Chain A
Amino acid sequence: AQKVTQAQTEISVVEKEDVTLDCVYETRDTTYYLFWYKQPPSGELVFLIRRNSFDEQNEISGRYSWNFQKSTSSFNFTITASQVVDSAVYFCALREPNSGYALNFGKGTSLLVTP
Chain B
Amino acid sequence: EPEVTQTPSHQVTQMGQEVILRCVPISNHLYFYWYRQILGQKVEFLVSFYNNEISEKSEIFDDQFSVERPDGSNFTLKIRSTKLEDSAMYFCASIKDREIAEAFFGQGTRLTVV
Chain A residues with CB under 8 Å of chain B are 33, 35, 37, 43-45, 47, 50, 52, 91, 93, 95, 97, 99-108
Inter-chain CA distance A80–B56, complex, in Å, is 39
Question: Can you report 9 residue pairs joining A to B where beta carbons are below 8 Å apart?
Answer: A33-B101, A43-B107, A44-B107, A44-B108, A45-B105, A45-B108, A95-B101, A101-B48, A107-B41
Asked whether, in the complex, the Cβ of B42 is within 8 Å of the Cβ of A102, the reply is no
Q: With the chains together, A95 CA to B98 CA distance in Å?
A: 10
Taking CB as reference atom, which chain B residue is nearest A51?
B101
Q: Which residues of B contact A (CB under 8 A)?
A: 31, 33, 35, 41-45, 48, 55-56, 58, 89, 91, 93, 95, 98, 101-108, 110
Given contacts A43-B89, A45-B91, contact A103 B102 (CB under 8 A): no
Which chain B residues lie closer than 8 Å to A35 at the CB level?
102-103
- CB pair A103–B55 under 8 Å, yes or no, is no
The reply to whether B101 and A91 contact each other, CB–CB distance below 8 Å, is no
B31→A101 contact, CB < 8 A: yes
| Smallest CB separation, B2 vs chain A (Å) | 13
**A45 contact set on B, CB distance < 8 A:** 43, 91, 105, 108
Q: Which residues in A have their C-beta under 8 angstroms from that of B104? A: 47
Question: Is B45 a contact partner of A102 (Cβ separation < 8 A)?
Answer: yes
Kindly state the separation between the CA atoms of A84 and B110 in the bound complex, as whole angstroms.
26
Q: Is the CB of A102 within 8 A of B48?
A: yes
Q: How far is the CA of A108 from the CA of B41 in the complex (A)?
A: 8
Q: A105 contacts which chain B residues (CB < 8 A)?
A: 42-44
Beyond A47-B103, A95-B101, 4 extra complex contacts between A and B, CB < 8 Å: A47-B102, A100-B56, A102-B58, A103-B43
Residues of B within 8 A of A107 (CB): 41-42
Complex Cα spacing A91 to B43, Å: 9
Residues from chain B with a CB closer than 8 A to the CB of A99 are 56
Q: How far is the CB of B104 from the nearest CB of chain A, in Å? A: 7
Question: What CA separation (Å) do A105 and B105 show in the bound complex?
Answer: 14
Return A3 CB to nearest CB of chain B, in Å. Answer: 11
